[in-house]
């Protein structure tokens, strides 16, 4: 898939009404500092459309990016950042849950996991929660350039085991630095978008 254009179309805070988009929605979730903004910028071939921050927990809104004029990337708030109050975390949780329950166009939820580390309890909770809401998360293992090639299969196995990922379910290793994995992820998105559009 070639990304011709992308723009931030809608930003929803805790009290905002979610948009009723006509195009397919593809959501990105993951803990703070896992490289979500870098992934979105990398896929869209833009340097700073999704705002990256050295301060985790910065994304406190649901951001809708319109891609190629006909479908959406949906950036969900990062979870698991300790310096955010419990009350704030609960608000974000409700906001994400509301989105998962009400979006009629959501087709894929990508769950980002840092390939260098065993998935956290929060990652496992998010994975199970997405499944409970009727979706099958697709894993993107970020920060691929930070490990040796010889560690790849071992680290992917740890992710599969910890999250209880079903055999045959997809995991895409990705590096924001080298763009390794970008084409595979975009090809998968293109297939899903095309399947969702009626002939």
The DSSP symbol for 2 reads -
Tell me the average pLDDT across 32-50. Answer: 88
**25: its two tokens:** 């929605």
What are the tens digits of pLDDT across the range 109-146? 999 999 999 999 989 998 998 898 888 899 999 999 99
**24: its two tokens:** 């397919």
Q: Are strands 62-67 and 6-12 parallel, antiparallel or unpaired?
A: antiparallel
CA distance 102 to 99: 5
Query: Between 30 and 91, whose confidence is greater?
Result: 30
The DSSP symbol for 145 reads G
Cβ contact 16:98 at 8 Å:
no
């Amino acid at each position: 898939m070639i990304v011709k254009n992308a723009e931030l179309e809608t930003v929803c805070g805790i009290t905002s009404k979610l948009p009723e988009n006509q195009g397919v929605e593809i959501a990105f979730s993951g803990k703070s500092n896992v490289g979500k903004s870098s992934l979105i910028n990398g896929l869209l071939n833009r340097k700073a459309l999704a705002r990256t921050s050295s301060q985790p927990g910065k994304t406190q809104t649901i951001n809708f990016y319109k891609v190629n004029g006909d479908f959406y990337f949906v950036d969900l708030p990062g979870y698991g950042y300790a310096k955010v109050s419990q009350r704030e975390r609960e608000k974000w949780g409700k906001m994400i849950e509301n989105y998962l329950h009400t979006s009629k166009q959501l087709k894929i939820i990508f769950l980002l996991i840092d390939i260098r580390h065993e998935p956290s309890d929060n990652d496992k909770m998010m994975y199970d929660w997405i499944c409970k809401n009727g979706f099958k998360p697709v894993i993107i293992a970020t920060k691929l350039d930070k490990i040796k090639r010889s560690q790849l299969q071992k680290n992917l196995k740890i992710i599969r085991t910890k999250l209880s990922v079903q055999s045959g379910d997809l995991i895409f290793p990705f590096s924001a630095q080298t763009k390794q994995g970008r084409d595979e992820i975009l090809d998968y998105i293109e297939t899903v978008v095309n399947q969702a559009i009626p002939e």
